[in-house]
Structure 1
Amino acid sequence: MSDFIAEQDRVLLERHGLASYEALWALTLEAVDEPNTERGGWSSVYRLDLGEQAFYLKRQSNHLTRNVLRPFGEPTFAREFRNIQRFKRLGIPSLEAAFFAKRRINTERQAVLVTRALDGWSDLQGLLESWPRLPGVERGEIVTACGKLMRNLHAAGQLHGCFYPKHVFLQRSSGGYAARLIDLEKTRPLLLGERDRLKDLDPFLRRTCAWSDDEVRHFLTAYLPIGTDIERWRLRLDARRRSKEFAVGAC
């Protein structure tokens, strides 16, 4: 895979001398959180402000994911970048990549991924914390936007795999709310029909416990095709919930 630079960001990165892997790898910044060391290597995230445009710079070394096609592993950012580009081709609103490249340096397998910051957008998790104080019309717009986002995702044949409120970002305009997804590392094709769809639906609805029964129904109405038996889906969700142990973070 050759180095990727988004055309809309190329001039800006070049102006700041950051249009290469080497420059981005050497850049000194303060990480926004503690490095992720779960996979034996490390992975860190930094905020990068370049004038009026902000980005998130992600760097990792020997932080690998493995599957049947890649038994020896690859940087997790390589998988995330492919998914970002796939979502773009499929018309699923998500974060945007500005730069991606990977290198093998001696025994290290390194990768750099730069994404555009979603400044001006709010994550659903934060909105849920103030849910009772939001106007009813605004709550309805948010619920509708979330339902349409998941409908768009599944209609394109994709499973997010981690469809949680903290990964849904929303922005209000005169026409209501727009929604988009982040954290695409676990995304895969939706292969098992309703069973796969429930894998996104169930954890999402367990974590939106601030929503009333009417709001859950509103969400399902926005998500499901017109004429679908909503009660059947609610029964399937209830059955799945009863069959699983109480999940961490559920209500």
Structure 2
Amino acid sequence: MTDFLAAEDRALLERHGLGTFDALWAKQLDAVDEPNTSGDGWSSVFRLELDGHGYYLKRQSNYLTRTWHHPLGEPSFAREFRNISRYRQLGIPALQAAFFGQRKVDGEVRAVLLTRALDGWDDLDSLLQRWSELSPAQQAGILQACGQLARRLHGVRQVHGCFYPKHIFVQARGDGYQAQLIDLEKTRALLFGQRDRAKDLEPLVRRAPEWTREQLRLLLAAYLDQPADSSLVDAWLNRLTARRSHKEKR
């Protein structure tokens, strides 16, 4: 596979001598957390700062995902990069890649994925921890942004697969909010209509106990593009809360 280097980031990376796979692989940085391991493979994430621009540099070795298309396995970053590219083509707001490449070196499968940091954005998980401190207008704006994001995602027949608060980032814009997604490794096509849509949305509802029933109506109204008191919102609210209750009892 030919290395990907985003046109918007090329000059900055090359100015710092980081426009190639080998340079990014060799760059000495401190990991942001403990590496993930699987068998003899590992995967780690690093923070990179270049002239005031933030990036996350991900490197992995023999950290493979096996699928029907890749029964012998491929780097999980390869799948994530494909999904990042697909989201961009489909117009789904999500993190952006600056570089991707993979190599096989003496039997070792290496991969590098560099993404732009979402500096200035807040993950929904952290916002939920101080939800009561936000104004009603802020809460409503965030709920609407999340609902609109889900509508856009499902509208182009994609399922995120991990639609959790920690994977949704929001930012105040003008008199409202915008939202986008990270962690796209489990994305797949939406195949089963309403069933897939509800399955994708339910984890968000389950992981946001701070939201009242009326606030869930605002989320679903934005998702369905319907008034909050519509019968369609009622039906979806009942479906999701029943699914959440079933999951919580398991």
Q: Same fold (TM over 0.5)?
A: yes
Are 1:95 and 2:95 matched, yes or no? yes
Tell me the equivalent position of 1:129: 129
- For residues 126-168 of structure 1, the C-alpha deviation after alignment (integer angstroms, 9 at most, x for no partner) is 0000001111101100000000001100001100000000000
CA contact (8 A) 1:154 1:197 kept: yes
Aligned with 1:17: secondary structure?
coil
- For residues 44-78 of structure 1, the C-alpha deviation after alignment (integer angstroms, 9 at most, x for no partner) is 00000001211000000011111111101100000
Matched residues in 2 for 1:85 and 1:246: separation? 38
Are 1:166 and 2:182 matched, yes or no? no
The count of residues paired between Structure 1 and Structure 2 equals 247
What displacement does 1:235 show? 2.2
Tell me the equivalent position of 1:23: 23
Structure 1 residue ranges (4+ consecutive) displaced by more than 6 angstroms after TM superposition: none
Residue ranges of structure 2 left out of the alignment (5+ in a row): none
Tell me the equivalent position of 2:52: 52
- For residues 219-248 of structure 1, the C-alpha deviation after alignment (integer angstroms, 9 at most, x for no partner) is 00000143661121122223323433547x
CA contact (8 A) 1:54 1:117 kept: yes
Matched residues in 1 for 2:39 and 2:92: separation? 29
Calculate the TM-score normalised by the size of structure 2. 0.95
Q: Which amino acid aligns with 2:208?
A: T
CA contact (8 A) 2:6 2:99 kept: yes
Deviates more, 1:208-217 or 1:238-247: 238-247
What displacement does 1:205 show? 0.3
CA contact (8 A) 1:39 1:64 kept: no
Tell me the equivalent position of 2:244: 241
Structure 1 residues 75 and 224: CA distance shift in structure 2, 3 A: same
Structure 1 residues 209 and 39: CA distance shift in structure 2, 3 A: farther
Structure 1 residues 195 and 40: CA distance shift in structure 2, 3 A: farther
Percent pairwise identity: 56
Tell me the equivalent position of 2:148: 148
Tell me the equivalent position of 1:86: 86
Tell me the equivalent position of 1:3: 3
CA contact (8 A) 2:97 2:114 kept: yes
CA contact (8 A) 1:122 1:171 kept: yes
Residue ranges of structure 1 left out of the alignment (5+ in a row): none
Tell me the equivalent position of 2:175: 175
Q: Which amino acid aligns with 2:241?
A: D
Q: Which amino acid aligns with 2:169?
A: F
Tell me the equivalent position of 1:73: 73
Aligned with 2:153: secondary structure?
helix
**What's the RMSD between the two structures over aligned residues?**
1.3
- For residues 172-227 of structure 1, the C-alpha deviation after alignment (integer angstroms, 9 at most, x for no partner) is 12131110000000001011111111121111100111111110000000001436
Calculate the TM-score normalised by the size of structure 1. 0.95
Aligned with 1:172: secondary structure?
strand
Matched residues in 2 for 1:136 and 1:21: separation? 47
Tell me the equivalent position of 2:192: 192
Matched residues in 1 for 2:248 and 2:176: separation? 37
